[in-house]
Amino acid sequence: MHGEAQFNPQSEEKINELKRLSELRKERAIAILHKGKPSLLDKNTYLVPSSDGKHSYKVTHYENYSCECKDFKERCLRNGLFCKHINAIIIFSKLKNTVELQDYNIEKEINKEVCFYCNSENIFKRGTRTTKIGTKQLYCCKDCNRRFTIDAIKYIKGNAKLVCLAMDCYYKGNSLRDIQDMFKQFYNLEVSHETVRRWIVRFTKIMEDYTRELKPQVSDRWHIDEQKIKVGKEWLWSWNAIDKDTKFWIANNVTEQRSIKDARTLLKQTKENVKEIPKHLEIVTDGLHSYKKAIKKEFKTHKDRLNRPYNNSVLHIGKAGIRKPINNNMVERLNGEFREFDKVRRGFYAKDTAQDNLNGMRLYHNFIKKNMALNGLSPYEKANIDLKLENNRWLSLLNKSIKATQVTKQKETKESH
């Protein structure tokens, strides 16, 4: 810092007073930056506006900083401090460097505005379009000369935010007709409950395809259970697997029976859906006989929890009860979460419909819902999945999913040619 050579040993009170004055000047520097940005006169000289905006001061930086203001010359220089104008330059430079680094982030590639038809970045704003739900900005491409809107979703009556609102309400337990009524009351938008259903099915599938490739880093204990769900006039079985530490819902499947083959299908999904199978995995289940044989066929099993003869060996803890030290309450709570969702729907029309709804619930549980047992994190964050979702998590995830789908299609088109 400039002037350090002029410092003499100071009393503790004097040092604390200098620290207070330094922090005060930094606060004033931030206030200056809120009113206006410094301008660059040459490579080493800035022009910084005063706090009242009526004057400007030159700040130079060679080996040290220097300012032409009275505060720097009369007080800061002899005490080894920076004035508010120099602090403004330091803070401004840090912010500028941060923005420049963020420009190279992959998020920019996913969220950048490009032509809907030719994927060109050479676009500009050109007029607006008035719709029932508001005004949309129109863009024009200089390369293909077409006009378009930069919405994540095309050719629907609503927009991306309304679709995400519908999905959020649906997976929180509202019925399709409740959502239809909400759109009419609050947005004066008339859509049928069947339209809402198609939105949810279509865009859940897009997001589910995208998140399937995001593998969680799980702990060494998984909880697995099955429950009855009503499909049409019959009862089927819904199998679920959840990780103990991250609360990540690893896999789910709907079957007609509870055979060994059905149990193996779920176990195969769990192996495919995780980043790495733990070396000393424990699988907790109830007393269903199918689990014992299915786990033996899919994993190397061992009876001793402490002395296992090989890596990647699995200990099966069966007959887990509510009051036992090792219980299956975690997956039972997950089953209860789905029962609350299912109660409003009173069953499903077909097996595929039930599976689609389970997939959507798993998407909501892992990537959208905040878990208080994880200190307000979502399971994907606890499982170290590199996915940065913004405040509107549904919309952020939808944008990333659609963009990833477009990139995949463009790549396939190029390869085919």
Asked if pLDDT for residue 200 goes beyond 70, the answer is yes
**pLDDT tens digit sequence for 345-385:** 878 888 999 999 999 999 999 999 999 889 899 999 999 99
The secondary structure of residue 67, as a DSSP letter, is E
* pLDDT confidence of residue 245: 94
**Position 205 pLDDT exceeds 90:** yes
- Please check whether residue 277 is in contact with residue 298, taking contact to mean a CB–CB distance below 8 angstroms: no
More confident residue, 220 or 15: 220
323-329: which pairs have CB atoms within 8 A and are 24 or more residues apart? 326/284, 327/284, 328/223, 328/225, 328/284, 328/285, 328/286
Q: Which domains does the chain have, with CATH numbers?
A: 4-102 (no CATH), 111-150 (2.20.25), 153-214+394-417 (no CATH), 216-386 (3.30.420.10)
pLDDT higher than 90, residue 304: no
Digit-coded pLDDT (tens) for 92-141:
776 654 443 343 333 343 345 667 667 677 888 878 777 655 676 788 88
pLDDT at residue 414, as a whole number = 61
Average model confidence (pLDDT) across the chain:
82
pLDDT tens per residue, range 64-78: 888 998 888 888 888
One-letter identity of residue 187:
Y
Residue 313, pLDDT score? 75
Per DSSP bridges, beta strands 65-67 and 123-131 are unpaired
The answer to whether residue 298 scores a pLDDT higher than 80 is: yes
pLDDT above 70: residue 231: yes
Q: What is the pLDDT of residue 99?
A: 41
Token pair for 339: 């029962």
Q: What is the pLDDT of residue 9?
A: 47
Burial of residue 74 (CB within 10 Å: 0-12, 13-18, 19+) is exposed
**Model's pTM, two decimal places?**
0.64
Give the per-residue pLDDT at 264. Answer: 95
Confidence of residue 258 (pLDDT cuts 50, 70, 90): very high
- Distance (Å, whole) CA 294 – CA 73: 80
pLDDT band at 388 (very low <50, low <70, confident <90, very high): confident
Task: Report how far apart, in Å, the C-alpha atoms of 103 and of each of 122, 168, 350, 352, 401 are.
Answer: 18, 31, 47, 43, 21
pLDDT digits (tens, 9 = 90+) for 21-57: 888 888 888 888 777 778 877 777 888 888 777 778 8
